[in-house]
Amino acid sequence: MSSSSAAARVLPSTDAFQLSSEDFSFFQSAINEVAGIHLADSKIELVQSRLRSHVISLGYESFKDYRNHLKSVPSGHADWQDFINLLTTNKTDFFREAAHFQFLKEKVIPKWLAESSSSTFKVWCAASSSGEEPYTISMVLDSCLPKDKSYLVRATDIDTDILRKAQSGVYPRSKLAEIPTEYQRSFDLGTAEIKDWMRVKPHLKSKVTFSRYNLTGTNAPPDGDFDLVFCRNVLIYFTPATIESVMKKLYQATKPGGLLLIGHSESLQNIKTDWKAVKPSVYSKEEKK
Between CA 282 and CA 97 the distance in angstroms is 13
Between CA 266 and CA 93 the distance in angstroms is 17
Between CA 252 and CA 113 the distance in angstroms is 23
Give the count of alpha carbons within 13 A of 243, CB side only. 22
Question: 110-131 burial string, b = 16+ CB within 10 Å, else e?
Answer: eebeeeeeeeebbbbbbbbbbb
Report DSSP state, residue 273. Answer: -
CA 245 to chain centre: 16
Between CA 216 and CA 32 the distance in angstroms is 9
Indicate which residues carry an active-site annotation. 50, 157
Report DSSP state, residue 206. Answer: T
